[in-house]
Amino acid sequence: MSEPIIQIRNVTKRFGKVAAVDNVSLDIAAGEFFVLLGPSGCGKTTLLRMIAGFEVPTEGQIIIDGQDMSRVPPNKRPVNMVFQSYAVFPHMSVADNVAYGLKIAGVGRAERDERVREALALVSLNGFEDRKPDQMSGGQRQRVALARSLVMRPKVLLLDEPLSALDAKLRAQMQFELSDLQDQIGITFVTVTHDQDEALSMASRIAVINKGEVAQLATPSDLYEYPANRFVADFVGSVNIFEGKLILDEPDKAAVDCPGLGKVYLNHGVTGPHGADVWVALRPEKIYLHVPGEGKAVQAAAKDAPEGHNFARGKIKGMSYLGDITLFEIILDSGAMIRVSRPNLSRHDQEDFTWDDRVSMHWRADSPVVLLG
Amino acid sequence: MPLFNRTPRAPLEYAKSLWMRGWVLGVMLFLYIPLFVLMAFSFNDSKRNVVWRGFTTKYYGVAWENEQLWNAMMNSLTIAFFATIFSLVIGTLAAVMLWRFRFPFKGAVDGTISLPIIVPEICLGVAFLVFFSTIGWPSALPWPFNMGAIIIAHITFCFPFVAMVVRARLAGFNREQEEAAKDLGASEWQAFRDVLIPHIKPALVSGALLAFTLSLDDFVITFFTSTPGTDTFPVLVYSLVKRGVTPDVNAASTILILLTVVLTAIALKLQGAKALAQTH
């Protein structure tokens, strides 16, 4: 890999005594679709604004394309930003909005017109040149903001919660469009979002930020399937977490004794001291639901767990039918609660279970994740 | 037979209530009858102008030929013009400063900046009289420089109004727009010129209008700061009224009213459509 386009070196940003960003180091490679994901107030937006130049780091360095930019003002940086509110200039036409940066840069009329036309074509807004922003929908305004940034041919495009103001359908569409656009023009995208679906669907890599620190940096599927800690497991997707003790840890198998869930068997080793306090994370969609007494359940559970079965019993306390899946809240015999989701593969699947039914559950031995922190 | 046989009124259809209509009419009459009387009596064919003696337009001619009235009107307009320009600049800068920056004693500055609005005019007038005579402000200057003291006094009570209006408009400004301009390469000044000024333009128009009309009809402060040869229209009218109201004063006042109404209408029309379009 060549030199990363953005290097964040031990960056800390304090507002008064509060550290919004706490000693963060990250490398973002050229051409990446990088997402900063975290709950509101975690410092992800501050980090983005430091890359853009609107905030100055208290400590550390931000190197963009090999040059230390930590103290360079925003108007002198080779990055452009799409703001959460889009910040389209309301008193200018679409064409004037897109041309603004080029005008400031002193680009000649002919080249300016040509580049504005190209940029508008890129976001499928040809023909909208003379419109005023107040005659456009939110989605269209966002495209104007995109074109206005892209026309500057930045090395990095920063996007602050780009899809949060759009409705669900449009959001899904824009997710694809942003990914396509990034493929097409090949510049680095750095996006901030609190929406895990958005992050998972668009990112090449995701940094999960919690309390100003990087909780985990991984590809979307690694983040989901191999979360590094309870915060990430819980924040990305939905998860059942049970506290337990590590009672068996060998290279090819492990077991955790959870008071809430019973003994959980894994078909791989975990690196943790024997008897350590650990947490088991189990995704709702990785649990199979059965009517009790169906022998298949126990057989299936037994088949791939080398020691004992990954098996539990309980009673349905709550159900919510979401169309494609049904979510169940089940009280285990231990009294703990577990969430299970079940795809509705046929048109009558949602009728299989109802409130207060006794049910059995099993899961594969490679499904649970053992977390040390 | 239904219990209530008339169509029920929707919650906000106040205009359908007879009481409400009567009330609104009463308020309107209360507000505007004095003005209409003034206008009507400008057409009164009587030198003393107390009893209606028949219709004439000759006092418009009289007013037109009255050099004293003309001079006073020119003085008023000149003072209002300069007071407006300076108030606009100072008021806007004050508003932007208070909105944009943090600095020591900001609270104190914020509190005292609108003091000229609150302090009774008579106090300001006396204060200016004392101030200008103490520092020995020259009074025997050629026109229009002899009005310097009045203009300064007018700026003092006009600019807080501009600052107030501009600040209210700034409160609705999306800071991300300014950041977007800078992000696209604009300097501080370019962002101010290209993004902030267009946003506050409606406030600048209404602020200017406020300052202009306030200056134009100010009597108390002007009275205390005027020197021979700087009588403004209100000051002149006051001195004329002491010798009895003549219809030519009514005529001149009517023209002034029409002028302000037309100016206001034009300003509102110019800013109205745009202001609506830009509020989001």
| DSSP codes of every residue in chain B | --S--SPPPPTT-GGG-HHHHHHHHHHHHHHHHHHHHHHHHTTB--SS-SS---B--HHHHHHHH-HHHHHHHHHHHHHHHHHHHHHHHHHHHHHHHHHH---TTHHHHHHHHTHHHHS-HHHHHHHHHHHHHHTT----PPTTGGGHHHHHHHHHHHHHHHHHHHHHHHHT--HHHHHHHHHTT--HHHHIIIIIHHHHHHHHHHHHHHHHHHHHT--HHHHHH--TT---HHHHHHHHHTT---HHHHHHHHHHHHHHHHHHHHHHHHHHHHHHHH--
**Domain boundaries of chain A, sorted by first residue:** 4-233, 239-372
Residue A94 to residue A340: CA distance in whole angstroms: 49
Each residue of A177-191: pLDDT tens digit?
898 899 888 899 999
Residue A237, pLDDT > 60, answer yes
**Is the alpha carbon torsion for A139, A142, A148, A154 positive or negative?**
negative
Mean pLDDT in residue range A353-371: 90
Q: Average pLDDT, whole number, for chain A?
A: 91
The top-level CATH class assigned to A4-233 is alpha beta
Give yes or no on whether A4-233 and A239-372 have one common fold: no
- CATH fold for the domain made of A239-372: OB fold (Dihydrolipoamide Acetyltransferase, E2P) (2.40.50)
Q: Tally the C-alpha atoms within 13 A of residue A188's C-alpha that lie toward its C-beta.
A: 21
All residues of chain B having their beta carbon less than 8 Å from the beta carbon of residue A155 are: none
Mean pLDDT in residue range B144-171: 91
- Tokens 């943090």 — which residue? B102
Contact A104 B190 (CB under 8 A): yes
The whole-number pLDDT of residue A298 equals 60
Compare all CA atoms of chain A with the CA of B180 and give the residue at the minimum distance: A87
- Specify whether the CB–CB gap between A208 and A231 falls below 8 A: yes
Residue B134 to residue B3: CA distance in whole angstroms: 79
In this prediction, what percent of chain B has a pLDDT beyond 70?
92
Pairing of strands A156-160, A79-82: parallel
- Specify whether the CB–CB gap between A57 and A13 falls below 8 A: yes
Chain B interface test: which of A69, A76, A86, A89 (most B C-beta within 10 Å): A89
User: Which of B185, B277, B278 has the CB atom closest to A101's CB atom?
Assistant: B185
Residues 6+ apart with CB under 8 A from A269: A249, A250, A251, A252, A253, A254
All residues of chain B having their beta carbon less than 8 Å from the beta carbon of residue A138 are: none
Each residue of B176-212: pLDDT tens digit?
999 999 999 999 999 999 999 999 998 898 899 889 9
Chain A nearest-CA distance from B189, in A, is 12
- Specify whether the CB–CB gap between A55 and A5 falls below 8 A: no
Size of interface A-B (CB pairs under 8 A): 67
Residue B63, pLDDT > 80, answer yes
Mean pLDDT in residue range B28-55: 86
The whole-number pLDDT of residue A294 equals 63
Q: Which of A41-55, A113-127, A195-209, B15-29 has the lowest mean pLDDT?
A: B15-29
Q: Which of A303-317, A338-352, B22-36, B171-185 has the lowest mean pLDDT?
A: A303-317
Mean pLDDT in residue range A139-150: 94
Residue A329 to residue A314: CA distance in whole angstroms: 10
- Specify whether the CB–CB gap between B124 and B130 falls below 8 A: no
The whole-number pLDDT of residue A56 equals 94
Say if B197 is an interface residue toward chain A (CB within 8 Å). no
Contact A100 B181 (CB under 8 A): yes
Residue B153, pLDDT > 60, answer yes
Closest listed residue to residue B51, CA positions, set B63, B37, B61: B37
Compare all CA atoms of chain A with the CA of B184 and give the residue at the minimum distance: A101
All residues of chain B having their beta carbon less than 8 Å from the beta carbon of residue A54 are: 179
Q: Around Cβ A232, how many Cβ atoms within 10 Å?
A: 23
Contact A75 B180 (CB under 8 A): no
Q: Tally the C-alpha atoms within 13 A of residue A64's C-alpha that lie toward its C-beta.
A: 23
Residue A301, pLDDT > 60, answer no
Contact B176 A87 (CB under 8 A): yes
Say if B276 is an interface residue toward chain A (CB within 8 Å). no
Contact A91 B177 (CB under 8 A): no
The whole-number pLDDT of residue B52 equals 83
- DSSP β-bridge partners for residue A277: A245
The whole-number pLDDT of residue B276 equals 47
Higher-confidence position of A121 and B2: A121
Compare all CA atoms of chain B with the CA of A54 and give the residue at the minimum distance: B179
pTM: 0.81
All residues of chain A having their beta carbon less than 8 Å from the beta carbon of residue B192 are: none
Compare all CA atoms of chain A with the CA of B279 and give the residue at the minimum distance: A90
The whole-number pLDDT of residue B6 equals 64
Interface of B with A in 145-174 (CB under 8 A): 174
Residues 6+ apart with CB under 8 A from A99: A112, A113, A116, A151
In this prediction, what percent of chain B has a pLDDT beyond 90?
40
Chain A nearest-CA distance from B99, in A, is 18
All residues of chain A having their beta carbon less than 8 Å from the beta carbon of residue B199 are: 90-91
All residues of chain A having their beta carbon less than 8 Å from the beta carbon of residue B186 are: 75, 100, 104
Residues 6+ apart with CB under 8 A from A3: A66
The whole-number pLDDT of residue A170 equals 85
Chain A interface test: which of B176, B178, B183, B196 (most A C-beta within 10 Å): B183
- Tokens 């002193």 — which residue? A106
Residue B9, pLDDT > 90, answer no
The whole-number pLDDT of residue B279 equals 46
Residue B266, pLDDT > 80, answer no
Chain B nearest-CA distance from A92, in A, is 10
B6 burial (CB, 10 Å; 0-12 / 13-18 / 19+) is: exposed
Chain A nearest-CA distance from B186, in A, is 6
In this prediction, what percent of chain A has a pLDDT beyond 90?
72
User: Which of B185, B199, B278 has the CB atom closest to A104's CB atom?
Assistant: B185
